[in-house]
Structure 1
């Protein structure tokens, strides 16, 4: 019997949904799905090797892929990997199990943050139309970028993903053999919360603004994770007319500066209030069919 999952949301003092404990989809085969993903990520680690030094998020092998912009890039581009990493990423991402997980994460995003989902969809569809060479990582997901955290025992340190969209959601999928009562919890440091995170479950967090991490598991257990997200530079590139901020006309840059408070208010307003969630779903998706 697979564990029953009831989605739960965390809201701020204004009733805005700021974290989604989305759980897992119903279905008798989901244990097999996340077990397969765990095996894939566990086996990937030795193939590509650990980084020479510990990264700020933790001491484990990670494989990032998709589209990025920042860190000196002149324009948005596909993340570059070595031949071995590229092959491993391709083999994992094309499996039915990983694509099912990616689709579920995308569906959770659309269901609990419909206005934000539409903001991603609208901007990124323009980006991919303008630059056909950019690779869309999954056919059933709006997220442009993803990371496989390969384990065998992924523990993430206290961090903020400050290059992600600051008002956006990151979807985190956890898998492995660990006991979620004893370890593998998600920690939201700014909220003072430690949240049980069972294998095969998905949680949405605003990773660009909330400090987060995870607890360790028992020595004989495994834990991996798979995340999808959006670098903030991609939306900024579209907003400035497909050019760097420094290349934009002075009048456009001045408009953004003068309307800073208004833009911040709009960004916060993209988080749905729990009381308005059904209304937001209907407003966003009524003319576009189901998600």
Structure 2
């Protein structure tokens, strides 16, 4: 789908890490659309300290929590993870906040200033590199608030509706995150104590790309579109990660008029039939959500 991939270096305001490039790296397709960005991190010691503190909190949660087997072994890998935020699916009549026994732990985690700073940076990076998707997310959040008055976002300063803390030594299997919004990027921030030249790299299999992924750095990835995985860190090292995303089902629920697909079909048969006719061409809309380098330079949204 992405076509020919090349590297483009631009906006030299960020640094990937002391080990890597001092500018973001983006992968573009043959039409110059930006499909992925290795953002890096702000060149700010206080941000580095906050990123390290957030990683320490995740590692502490990983060690102190009595994880269930299902939380430690899943289709993304063999590591413990916990989720927090709004989801939609599995027969739910409307989007709702995730529950479960990890909710209190995760609420305390996302309310930490260090977590909120990294989450806000992820969201701001999303707005900078993928302004069309960001604008849609912002609009959908407003619509969701109108439909569900209890919707209160997820993390202060972030447009994303959900997040995951990967709390024990994290390396992922080859996978796609098919439930995430297809025309948008999730934000991934790596953390821990490891040598990024000897492990932890992010592989984008469909693009045939490997990115160094140092602690504290962020990558924006359309995880529903491209198969991706991590290389394990070397023995003795520790790696965790923090991701933000929004379930595509939330946006579909809103497109259906704040109702399930079955309700849409029953209450508006003509509108539902038209939606089905348009569905095979929706991939054009997905591609249009990715800006070209020229559009970004010109500030076109």
TM-score, normalised to structure 1, is: 0.92
Name structure 2 gaps, 5 residues minimum. 1-14
1:271-282 equivalences in 2 (<5 Å): 271-279=290-298, 281=299
Structure 2 match to 1:76: 95
Corresponding residue of 1:111: 128
Offset from partner CA, 1:56-102 (integer Å, 9 cap, x none):
111111111100001221211101121xx222212211111111100
The alignment partner of 2:23 has SS state of coil
Q: State the match for 1:37 in structure 2.
A: 54
Q: 2:85: which partner in 1?
A: 66
Alignment of 1:87 onto 2:108 = no
The answer as to 2:194 corresponding to 1:178 is yes
Map Cα deviations across residues 208-240 of structure 1 (whole Å, 9 max, x no partner).
111111111122111110000010100000001
Residue of structure 2 aligned with 1:99, choices 85, 96, 116: 116
> Does the residue aligned with 1:24 lie in a helix, a strand or coil?
strand
Structure-1 separation of matches of 2:233 and 2:109: 24
Distance, in Å, in 2 between the alignment partners of 1:51 and 1:160 is 23
Does residue 218 (structure 1) correspond to residue 234 (structure 2)? The answer is: yes
* Contact 1:102 1:138 (8 Å CA) reproduced: yes
**Quick one: distance in 2 between partners of 1:39 and 1:136?**
25
* Bigger Cα displacement from structure 2, 22-31 vs 200-209: 22-31
Tell me, yes or no, if the aligned pair for 2:59 and 2:167 is still in contact at 8 Å.
yes
**Partner of residue 192, structure 1:** 208
Give 1:262 deviation, angstroms.
4.7
**For the residues of structure 2 that align with 1:237 and 1:246, how far apart are their CA atoms?**
11
Say whether 1:256 aligns with 2:275. yes
Deviations 1:136-171 (A, max 9, x none): 2112010001000001x1111111111111222110
Q: Name the CA distance, whole Å, in 2 between partners of 1:138 and 1:159.
A: 26
Structure 1: runs of 5+ lacking an equivalent: 285-291
- Please give the alpha-carbon distance, in whole angstroms, between the structure 1 residues aligned to 2:297 and 2:131: 9
8 A Cα contact 1:172 1:204, kept in partner: yes
Residue equivalent to 1:12:
29
After the TM superposition, which parts of structure 1 deviate over 3 Å for at least 4 consecutive aligned residues?
none
Rounded to whole Å, the distance in 1 between the matches of 2:276 and 2:108 is 44
SS for the counterpart of 1:218 is coil
DSSP 3-state at the match of 1:29: helix
* Secondary structure of the structure 2 residue equivalent to 1:118: helix
Q: Name the SS for the 1:148 alignment partner.
A: strand
In structure 1, the partner of 2:159 is 142
CA distance in 2 between partners of 1:114 and 1:105 (Å):
13
Distance 1:161 1:122 in 2: 23
* Among 76, 79, 85, the residue aligned to 1:57: 76
Q: 1: CA distance between counterparts of 2:156 and 2:146?
A: 15
* Higher RCO (CA-CA < 8 Å; seq separation 6+): 1
Q: CA RMSD in A?
A: 1.6
Q: Secondary structure at the match of 2:45?
A: coil
Q: Which residues in structure 2 correspond to 1:195-206 (within 5 Å)? A: 195-206=211-222
- The 8 Å contact of residues 51 and 60 in structure 1, kept in 2 or not, is answered as no
CA contact (8 A) 2:141 2:153 kept: no
